[in-house]
Amino acid sequence: MKRYDPDYIGYLEQFVTEKRKATLKEVLARRTRHLTVVLEDLYQMHNISAVVRSCDIFGIQDVHIIRKHYDTKISHGIAKGAEKWTTFFEYNHTEDAIDQLRKKGYRIIATTPHGASVGLPEFDITRKAAFFFGVEKDGLSELVMNRADEFLKIPMFGFTESFNISVAAALILYETRMKLQNSGLDWHLSDDEQRELYQLWLEKTIKSIDSVKRKYYSGG
């Protein structure tokens, strides 16, 4: 079932400049769900917000947030409005997130500097991947480590054993997105997905959207 209305989209476009419409379509053409990010029980607002910002920058549409103990919000100042254009999925249990992602065809990728991990330069992007990032102090839960399909690490050459989580996410997304961009894979959103998001983004672009919607649905 389509979750967009072509007539409604046409109506909304009357309230948006040609330049803005072109920008929305241009960004949508670069969006992907081939890669996604999962944040497991992070508690520092600035880290969550910075990761969301990186997702938007690198065209990652979906962010999955597991909130078992913490209910940290996103900082609009740090995210720079990225949360407005990103699709969020929230879970209370890690197992639910893993199960849902597997149903969508994702490999579960545990990001960790330890163990028998594949290095970021060698990571295979041909299949859909969900990158799991853990709570700042303790890392990923035992459940994720036990159920992960692969383990991913960023090569490091100094004394420090790990990156800040937002830095790690940015590095992983940059490297994998560049590989994806240069591959022959069909990583784009489907036409229906793009139209659905285009309708949503048009609504978010129009400041007086509530009155615009009332007028449309009232037939005025």
The per-residue pLDDT for 28 is 97
pLDDT in tens, 164-197: 889 999 999 999 999 999 999 999 999 999 999 9
pLDDT in tens, 66-117: 987 655 665 455 445 778 899 999 999 999 999 999 999 999 999 987 766 8
List the strands of the sheet with 87-91, edge to edge: 87-91, 62-66, 35-40, 129-133, 107-111, 150-153, 118-119
Model pTM greater than 0.85?
A: yes
Q: Are 209 and 203 in contact (CB under 8 A)?
A: yes
CA distance 169 to 15: 36
Asked: is 34-188 a CATH 3.40.1280.10 domain? The reply is: yes
The set of residues, in sequence order, having a beta carbon less than 8 Å from that of 20 and lying 6+ positions away, is 205
The DSSP bridge partners found for residue 35 are 129
Record the tokens describing residue 81, joined without a space. 């409005």
Strands 62-66 and 107-111: unpaired
Record the tokens describing residue 204, joined without a space. 């978010």
Percentage of the residues of the chain whose pLDDT score is greater than 70:
91
Categorize the per-residue pLDDT at 135 as very low, low, confident or very high, splitting at 50, 70 and 90.
confident
H or E, element range at 62: strand 62-66
Task: Look at residues 72, 30, 33 and name the one whose alpha carbon lies nearest to residue 165.
Answer: 72
